[in-house]
Structure 1
Amino acid sequence: MNFEAIKSIYFFEMARTRRTLLQSVISPVLSTALYFIVFGAAVGSQIQEIDGISYGGFITPGLIMLALITQCISNGSAGIYFPKFTGTIYEILSAPVAMTEILIGYVGAAATKGMIIGLIILGTATFFVDLKIAHPALMLFFMALTAVTFSLAGFIIGIWAKNFEQLSLVPMLIVPPLTFLGGTFYSVNMLPPFWEAVSHLNPVLYLVSGFRWSFFEVSDINPLVSLGMIILFLGLCLGLLTWVFRTGYKLRP
């Protein structure tokens, strides 16, 4: 294992975050703070509690998961797309560095950025709601597993994307609706039976529910099922990347 190569790619990507601090960190944190203000004041005044949890506290895990997924996909895809766009990807591929080492460097950096933003938002939430975490170790584990999984998904999107429109398609047009409809702002048990059944087809529901359980020991889905779903998605991403590396899909001319 070439740890020097992994370290070089990792710190290069982390340095890019420092150069774009306003866009990479401050913007998502401010956007999430607005959710707390708007939904906490408007909806929270009408819905005092859900499952015995204050409304502001109930939506906190979902908002963290929304930011975490979006940022990991965006950072994971941008990390590999820009070397393709500028042509420097061929220098990386021709270097004595294995594809797994390239993957660890880029995905590790994207997951780290997502974790940092998620933890900052968690800290920001304490200014708006009285928050207690029942299982902090499980919360961090679930957050890290989600960050790695969706950074891998972002890496795949970055390889697949032909232009900036395709690059932003998933994090901007697909992830937010799935998150909003995945129990972020409500419990799916509040829905009519038909729509509750439809909601179970939304993969984000399992992520939000499992993450919420680590906070309050309350969720719409069994936490073991939620954990199994994220592990399944992780396996699918690794399997797809294995095929990409073997075939050189959109990496080699």
Structure 2
Amino acid sequence: MNIHAIIAIFHYEMARALRTALQSIISPVMSTSLYFVVFGAAIGSRIESVEGVSYGAFIVPGLIMLTVMTQGITNAAFGIYFPKFIGSIYEVLSAPVGVVEVVAGYVGAAATKSLIIGIIIMITATFFIDIQIAHPIAMALLLVTICFAFSLFGFIIGIWAQSFEQLQLVPLLIITPLVFLGGSFYSITMLPPFWQTVSLFNPVVYLISAFRWSFFGTADVAIGVSLAAIAAFTTVCIGIIWWIFKTGYRLKS
């Protein structure tokens, strides 16, 4: 494995994030703070608790997931799409660098950026509400895993996309609605039985449920099922990336 190649790609992508810090870091933090004000204060004052947890605290895991998922996808997608757009991707493909190094560099940087934003948002949340984490180690591992998994997904989107508009298509029209409907602001047990069943077909439910379990020790879905869903999603993304580099899909044309 070419460690120097991974570090070079990683540093380049992280430097790009620093150059656009206002958009990459400050903007999502400000947006999430507004969610805390609107949902946590305005709506939370009318809801006593959800599953024994104050509503303001209950929405914290969902808000973190909403941000790290969208940021992981966006950062990874743009990171690989821009070299395609300007043609520098051919230099990477012709260099003595393997698939593992390319993916590790781009995906690692995107996951790191989304992880940093997730941590900042968690710290920001403490200014609004009191947060108690029941399983801190599990929470940290889940956060890292989800950042990595959705950065892999974003990497796939960046290769698939043929325009800047397509880069935003999946995060805005698919991921964000799935997160909002995946129990980020409510427990699916609050829904009628039919809609509870429908919600189980939303893959984001399992991620939010597992992450919320690490905070409060309760979950809408059994933690084992959620972990299996996360592992399956990550494995599928890795398989698709392997196929892309093997066939050259939208990389060599």
**TM tier, shorter chain?**
over 0.9
Read off the aligned partner of 2:237 and give its amino acid letter. C
- Report what 2:60 is aligned to: 60
The answer for the alignment partner of 1:110 in structure 2 is 110
1:50-129 aligned within 5 A: 50-129=50-129
Listed as ranges, the gaps of 5+ residues in structure 1 are none
Per-residue CA distance 1:69-124 (angstroms, 9 max, x = gap): 00000001011000000000011111111121111000000000010000000000
Please, what TM-score do these two structures have when normalized by structure 2?
A: 0.99
Gaps of 5+ in 2: none
Give the whole-Å Cα distance in 1 for the aligned partners of 2:252 and 2:176: 33
SS in 1 for 2:44: coil
Shift of 1:214: 0.2
Q: Give the AA of the match of 1:219.
A: A
For residues 166-208 of structure 1, the C-alpha deviation after alignment (integer angstroms, 9 at most, x for no partner) is 1111112211111110011111111111111111111111100
Q: How far did 1:46 drift? A: 1.3
Q: What secondary structure, in the 3-state scheme, does the structure 2 residue paired with 1:45 have?
A: helix
Question: What does the per-residue CA deviation read over 1:1-59, in whole Å, with 9 as the maximum and x for residues that have no partner?
Answer: 11111100000000000000000000000000000000112211111100100000000
CA distance in 2, matches of 1:202, 1:172: 16
Q: Deviations over 1:107-163 (max 9, x none)?
A: 000000010000000000001111011111100100111011110000000000000
The list of structure 1 runs, each at least 4 consecutive aligned residues, that deviate by more than 6 angstroms after superposition, is: none
In structure 2, distance between residues paired with 1:3 and 1:242: 19
Give aligned-pair identity as a percent.
60
CA distance in 1 between partners of 2:154 and 2:191 (Å): 31
DSSP 3-state at the match of 2:96: coil
**Aligned position for 1:203:** 203
* Cα distance in 1 between the residues matched to 2:122 and 2:103: 28
The number of residues matched between the two structures is 253
Tell me the distance in 2 between the aligned counterparts of 1:146 and 1:153: 10
Alignment of 1:101-250 (within 5 A): 101-250=101-250
State the match for 1:41 in structure 2. 41
CA distance in 2 between partners of 1:185 and 1:199 (Å)? 14
Q: TM-score if structure 1 supplies the norm length?
A: 0.99
One-letter amino acid of the counterpart of residue 237, structure 1: C
- 2:159 is paired with a residue whose SS is helix
